[in-house]
Amino acid sequence: MSTAAAGPAQPRSGILRRFIQGDLAELRVLLGLAVIWIVFQAQEDRFLTAVNLTNLVLQITAIGLISVGVVLVLLLGEIDLSVGAVSGLCAAIMAVLSEKHGWSPYLAIAAGIAAGTLIGLFQGAVFTRFGIPSFVVTLAGLLAWQGGLLQVLGESGTVNLTDPKITGLANTFYGDAFGWLVAALAIAVYAVLSLRGRMLRVRDELPAPPLAAVALRIGLVTAAVLAAIAVLNADRGLPLAALILVGFVLLFQYVTTKTAFGRHMYAVGGNAEATRRAGISITRVRVVVFMLASTMAAVGGIMAASRLLAVNQSSGAGDVLLLAIAAPVVAGTSLFGGRGSVWSALLGALVIGSISNGMDLLALSSSVKFMVTGAVLLAAVVIDAIARNKRQAAGRL
């Protein structure tokens, strides 16, 4: 095997430089998550119990799903301030159609998601057609869709969900055997894909990670998956909500990394003008991304309604928008575009959700929670800016 194929061992200084420049964002997030869990466990011994960790999974599902769409918009170097309001409006559409008009739960859910897609199409078209900054268009949407929520709910202001097909989305748990089966399949698929990817790179004489490094990653993923299933099985079992969240993350991770459209997203975020000159329709890419972002906001809103068993005038409001944007940014997706991963939606939701959950257990006031979450977001943005400046400085050398 050639030296190039095997890949030389990276010196510690190189690893440190990559860490500082943001190339190892996942590692930074995992270390931060470990610190957060240790701190909260030291303050409140209920934090790392199976019951609370299962609750944490359920709590982050809606934010994580909305954040998946936010990641796609951030990859373009744009922002969508309407995702919280869109999530509430689409959940209200589903609830009213199901509870007040007697629609099938599946049709009601489809209608709510379709409404999100149409909202994204409208906002993306206005943004690209008139050249208005995306934050202005979506800020107007934030106000308009909140008004739409109030209009859809009507005078009652609250719609309780009773259909078991809808409420079951966030309140269904699978037994121990099913959980271990899912774990075994997940580990097997990850191991096969990792080894196959390395084999293909070696065959094509491309730089490939050492076999020991691949085996170490597989071992770490195996340990994490088994630990997660063991914790969930110790309480109520594997939640359907967790499968839905991970499923969407995997889907969009594939789209962004393995398809031409995904490469176009990164290209538009990295250099829109160069992408246009290469013959790629940046208008089409932007409109489709805003459609996907609003669609995922609708999915997240429906999951939130399922967990809370109701939709009301505050659905999608409060800190939903802040958390949905903070999650991927905290996990390394750049606000400047062209850099990030869909996995950051899941990892960031875990970080933000852990902080919120821990502060709830400590019975801290809402004012403290908002200030802490805002400080975490600001710190993440500062780190992103520093890493970007480091990369630019390194590129000039």
DSSP string over 79-141: --TTHHHHHHHHHHHHHHHHHTS---HHHHHHHHHHHHHHHHHHHHHHHHHH---HHHHHHHH
Give residue 32's pLDDT.
86
Residue-level pLDDT at 130 = 94
Nearest partner of 203 among 3, 4, 5, judged by Cα: 5
Location of structure tokens 């919120």: 356
pLDDT at 221 over 50: yes
Percent of the chain residues past pLDDT 70, beyond the cut: 92
- pLDDT score for 11: 46
- Of residues 208 and 290, the one with the higher pLDDT is 290
Confidence band (pLDDT; 50, 70, 90) for 236? Answer: very high
Interval 159-207: pLDDT, tens: 999 999 999 999 999 999 999 999 999 999 999 999 999 999 899 888 8
**Mean pLDDT for the chain?**
89
Do the Cβ atoms of 22 and 388 come closer than 8 Å?
Answer: yes
Confidence of residue 52 (pLDDT cuts 50, 70, 90): very high
Distance CA 144, CA 84 (A): 12
pLDDT at residue 254 tops 70: yes
Residue 27: pLDDT band (50, 70, 90) is confident
78-87, 293-302, 366-375, 382-391: which range is least confident on average? 382-391
Greater confidence, 156 or 79?
79
| 359-378: pLDDT as tens digits | 999 988 888 888 888 888 78
* pLDDT of residue 15 exceeding 50: no
State residue 374's pLDDT score.
Answer: 83
pLDDT of residue 359: 93
Distances from the Cα of 44 to the Cα of 52, 236, 368, angstroms? 11, 22, 17
- Summarize the confidence of residues 80-91 as an average pLDDT: 97
Looking at residue 2, its pLDDT comes to 40
Q: How far apart, in whole angstroms, are the C-alpha atoms of residue 328 and residue 79?
A: 12
Q: What's the CA gap between 194 and 200, in Å, rounded?
A: 10
Compute the average pLDDT of residues 144-171: 94
> In whole angstroms, what is the distance from residue 109 CA to residue 104 CA?
9
pLDDT band at 386 (very low <50, low <70, confident <90, very high): confident
pLDDT band at 7 (very low <50, low <70, confident <90, very high): very low
Distance, in Å, from the CA atom of 80 to the CA atom of 106, rounded to the nearest integer, reads 28
The pLDDT confidence band at residue 1, using thresholds 50, 70 and 90, is: very low
- Tell me if 180 sits within 8 A of 237, measured CB to CB: no
Question: What pLDDT band is residue 396 in, cutting at 50, 70 and 90?
Answer: low
Residue 124 has pLDDT above 80, yes or no: yes
What per-residue confidence (pLDDT) applies to 308?
95
pLDDT at 47 over 50: yes
What kind and span of H or E run contains 204? none
> Does residue 101 carry a pLDDT above 90?
yes
The residue ranking higher by pLDDT, 112 or 383, is 112
Does the pTM exceed 0.75? Answer: yes
DSSP conformation class of 237: -
